[in-house]
Amino acid sequence: MKNLLTVLLLAAAAPAAAYELPSSTGAHRVRFEADQAGFNEYTREIHLQGNVRLEELSAEGKQLKLVRAHDLSVSMSSRTVSAPSDFVIDDDTGTAYGKSGFFSYGENHGYIRDGRFQHGNFIFRGRSISFDQDGYVYKRASLTSCDEDPPHYRIRASRIHLAPERYFVAYNTVFFLGRVPIFYLPVLYKPMGRGTPFVTSLFPGYDERNGAFLKSNYMYRVNPHMRVKAYLDYFSKRGLGTGGELDYRQEGKNITNLSAYRIREHGQATDRWGLNGGFWHAFNRFSESDPAQYYGQSFFRLLSDPSFNNDFFRTNPFAVSPDKQASLAFTRKTNYTVTRVSAYGRDERSVADPEKFVKAYESAPRLDFNTVPFAIPKVPVLNTFAGYFENVREYGIGYFQKKGSANWSVSRTVPLSRRVILSPSAFYDQSVALSTAPALGDIWTGRYGGAVNLRYDRLWGSLDLRYASTRRMRENTFSVDLSSADKGQELESFYADLFIMPRHNAYFRLRSSYDLRNYYTASFARRLSPLIAEAYYSPRPTLDLYAQNSYSFATGNQGFVGQATVGGAESYYSAGVANYSTDPEAWVISNTLGFKPWRTSKWRAEAVLRYRLVPDGLGKFESFKFFEKAVTLFRDFHDFRTSWDFRVRSGGVKEFFFFVNLKMNDPDRYDTLEEKSRAFWHPWRRSDAVRD
């Protein structure tokens, strides 16, 4: 019977006559097409052969499953379908293939022998597969996202639980590259569908200090607002390192990041560790009648020793930072005022013992109060108040001091013409240092002054001419401090600032100042501050040019910085050069080159060279020293994204590491949490980097 069409009703029905089908009850049902069909009225089985297509339909007529096979048997009494030979099942979760099997369309469960299930870009295989409405269970299973046969890689597992569109979890997994086993993981878990992938990244490598190492990252998106990472590292010369990172971001409510790492090196009695991060949190209003906003914030970079980052987190720019610091603040903000209570501490590298820190500054607590500019009726100026009071200990002082300051300023903007604006201002500042030791008394010091700025504004840029003056009073009096060496003249200068922007892609800036203090017996050249010239030009999207030079008319050039970048995302060149008066003979040069060996190459490379040189004539050098050399190779294979990194740097850094990431770990869409967190907390990280 060619194209025999039969509708099988699945719900219970009244007894029917021979060869009659039960009447419809509105339940879901199946229908089939086949080249041949036979019905056994005693067993109530239908046997289908040749180009079999069997559909399971909902009560509304929507297709739930499609089974295609050469040979099928349908039992009306048990409401099951059995396939003694090869078959294919399609539904909205994917496509399943099997050598044989059966499923119950009444209770929605089944079994497949030697099956394969394709879900998205994943291919699951199992010697035996059982399934129900909750998902699939694979035994003696394997997993891959490679569509080649045989696959380039596979993950073999004793058991895999798959919940389509939700997650899969695999047990006793062994990663195979071809036929070669690479590594073992007891459990592998990955969310699917709407969730961001669970990403596992491995970094095998070697460096001279730590020996051969294997760094591993495990990243999981808990929900749309939170992501966590775990680090597990092994260093052959140093031991086992563990750590993690947490990111939480809820716009307008909370932004939090926390990174922690610790390692106890072989033969050491104490841990080395690092703790970095911070938070910003907006609190609810204390009452409906209080319109103020309340929020807290913190930032901290804490280390066990100054060399910690340089030994284990080398892409972090703080790796060579000689300090650690922490701050905590709570703020109340209204439409008119900002009140802030804070604590802050900073430790710097000890000169006597470079492996230890010394306390450089500590302020706890500190109270700040500021107002936005406000007007007093019938007074034609804007007023601003700012003040603080703190309990502070500074470098070299062994006790805390109580200090404070209050500043009142007035200002006004006076348009002289359409292009000329005059902005005068004046202030009074009162500082106090309260006695905290028997030999000291309270010290009150007043300061007053003002400034006037004249701006000439055009479409192509602006010219600012500014005069500013500050006078200091004698301690605990209201008279100018004429007995001091500076005659109480803390500031009296004339400033000039020229800014030219002829086009949106170019600007030029020139600024300097002249010291007018009459006690200062210096030549004209020494009174003139360094002339700073700054220029930027980007004639096209693939080319950026920047330069800045500082020149003192008294002592010569103070510093020069230049940077040029040309190219796109894969092929580019960047060159930076710097020279400073602290080491005037030396030039510090940085070169970064990204390129493909040939146009159609699947390989991409980035080379970094940073060095210090002292010229000695044309083409000759008195000294030439590299302080960093690095080469990174990139290659995307059919299933992998890989990079190889070679790096040599001052401080004994000589390392190589290899990074591989399966494309199955690629997110389905742009991860805004990752990008915003990187920009806010770790701007030095590459966009494809998992950690420092």
| Range 220-226 average pLDDT | 81
Name the band, by pLDDT with cuts 50, 70 and 90, for residue 13.
very low
Using alpha carbons only, give the angle 173, 177, 178 rounded to the nearest 5 degrees.
115
Position with higher pLDDT, 662 vs 449: 449
Element (H, E) at 468: strand 461-472
> Please, which pLDDT band fits residue 19 given cuts at 50, 70 and 90?
very low
Region of 641 please: left (phi>0), alpha (psi -120 to 50) or beta: beta
Is residue 17's pLDDT more than 50?
no
The answer to whether residue 500 scores a pLDDT higher than 60 is yes
Q: What is the mean pLDDT of the chain?
A: 84
- Find all residues with CB under 8 Å of 483, minimum gap 6, and list them: 474
- pLDDT tens for 93-144 read 778 888 888 888 767 788 888 888 887 778 888 888 888 878 888 899 888 8
Q: What is the pLDDT of residues 403-425, one digit of tens each?
A: 999 999 999 999 999 999 999 99
Amino acid at 313: F
DSSP 416: -
The residues spanned by each domain of the chain are 6-189
**441-451 pLDDT, tens digit each:** 788 999 999 99
Backbone φ and ψ of 106, nearest 5° = -85, -40
pLDDT(271) > 80? yes
DSSP letters spanning 273-322: EEEEEEEEEEEPPS-TT---EEEEEEEEEEESSTTHHHHH-TTSGGGG--
- Using one digit for the tens of pLDDT, what is the confidence trace for 142-191? 888 887 878 888 889 999 988 887 788 889 888 887 788 877 778 877 77
For residue 672, the SS3 value is helix
Higher-pLDDT residue of 437 and 10 is: 437
In three-state form (DSSP H/G/I as H, E/B as E, the rest C), the secondary structure along 338-395 is EEEEEEEEEEEECCCCCCCEEEEEEEEEEEEEEECCEECCCCCCEEEEEEEEEEEEEC
Cβ(572)–Cβ(544) below 8 Å: no
Structure confidence at residue 21 (pLDDT): 37
Tokens of 515: 């010291």
More confident residue, 40 or 482: 482
- Decide: 480 and 492 in contact? Cβ < 8 Å: no
> How many CB atoms are located within 10 Å of the residue 328 CB?
18
What is the pLDDT at residue 387? 97
In whole angstroms, what is the distance from residue 655 CA to residue 209 CA? 8
CA atoms within 13 A on the CB side of 136: 31
Predicted TM-score of the model (pTM)? 0.68
Interacting residues of 269 by C-beta distance below 8 A, sequence separation 6+: none
* The pLDDT value given to residue 261: 94
Q: What whole-number percentage of the chain has pLDDT above 90?
A: 36
Q: For residue 51, count CB atoms less than 10 angstroms from its CB and return exposed for 0-12, middle for 13-18, buried for 19 or more.
A: middle
pLDDT average, residue stretch 645-672: 70
Tell me whether strands 63-75 and 122-132 are parallel, antiparallel or unpaired.
unpaired
pLDDT of residue 44: 81
| pLDDT number for residue 9 | 32
Contact 642, 193 (CB under 8 A): no
Residue 207: how many other CB atoms lie within 10 Å? 21
Q: How many CB atoms lie within 10 A of CB 399?
A: 8
pLDDT beyond 50 at 196: no
The pLDDT assigned to 664 comes to 63
Indicate if the pLDDT at residue 256 is higher than 90: yes
pLDDT of residue 691: 74
Separation CA 43–CA 442 (nearest Å) = 107
- pLDDT-derived band at 670 (thresholds 50, 70, 90) equals very low
Strands (E) in 86-198, as ranges, are: 87-91, 94-98, 100-104, 109-119, 122-132, 135-144, 153-163, 167-177, 180-191
Instruction: Work out the end-to-end distance of the chain between its first and last CA atoms, rounded to an integer number of angstroms.
Output: 69
pLDDT at residue 16, rounded to an integer = 31
Does residue 507 have a pLDDT over 90? yes
Per the CB < 8 A criterion, the answer to whether 603 and 595 are in contact is no
Residue 23 Cα distances to 13, 27, 132, 616, angstroms? 7, 11, 27, 102
618-634 pLDDT, tens digit per residue, is: 778 788 888 889 999 98
User: Where do we find the tokens 């109270």?
Assistant: 367
Two structure tokens written together for 189: 């878990």
Helix or strand run (H / E) with residue 674: helix 672-681
What is the Cα–Cα distance from 638 to 635, expressed in whole angstroms?
10
Q: Average of pLDDT values for 563-570?
A: 91
Task: State the pLDDT confidence band at 219, using cuts at 50, 70 and 90.
Answer: confident
pLDDT of residue 24 exceeding 60: no
Residue 576: pLDDT band (50, 70, 90) is: very high
Q: What percent of the chain has pLDDT over 70?
A: 89
> Which uninterrupted H or E stretch holds 463?
strand 461-472
pLDDT band at residue 494 using 50, 70 and 90 as cut-offs: very high
Q: Which CATH architecture has domain 6-189?
A: Sandwich (2.60)
